[in-house]
Amino acid sequence: MTTPLINQLVRAGTSVGANYCEADDAVSRKEFKNKIGTCKKEARESKHWLRMIVKANPSSIEEARKLWLEAKELHLIFAAIYRK
């Protein structure tokens, strides 16, 4: 059953957006970097949950692959921002 995995994916995926909004409104460079770091972690976690969903339900591989690539792009973007 993939319901718990999907719930975890939804939490991680929506956390990326919420933390990005918080980073955008950060009052200091330190707060901005912290929130961007959280975005990076949550994007990476989203990739993990997508892999687990495919393991539990191999027929979801095509849809999951598209989402995984998007999460990967976001992770790379946030990693680059975090390093600056």
Q: Are 41 and 26 in contact (CB under 8 A)?
A: no
Q: Which domains does the chain have, with CATH numbers?
A: 3-83 (1.20.1440.60)
Give the pLDDT band of residue 2 (cuts 50, 70, 90): confident
Q: What is the pLDDT of residues 19-38, one digit of tens each?
A: 999 999 999 999 999 999 99
In order, the DSSP letters of 3-35 are: HHHHHHHHHHHHHHHHHHHHHHT-SSHHHHHHH
| pTM reported for the whole predicted model | 0.92
- Summarised one tens digit per residue, pLDDT across range 48-63 is 999 999 999 999 999 9
> Would the pLDDT of 39 be above 90?
yes
Average pLDDT for the chain = 97
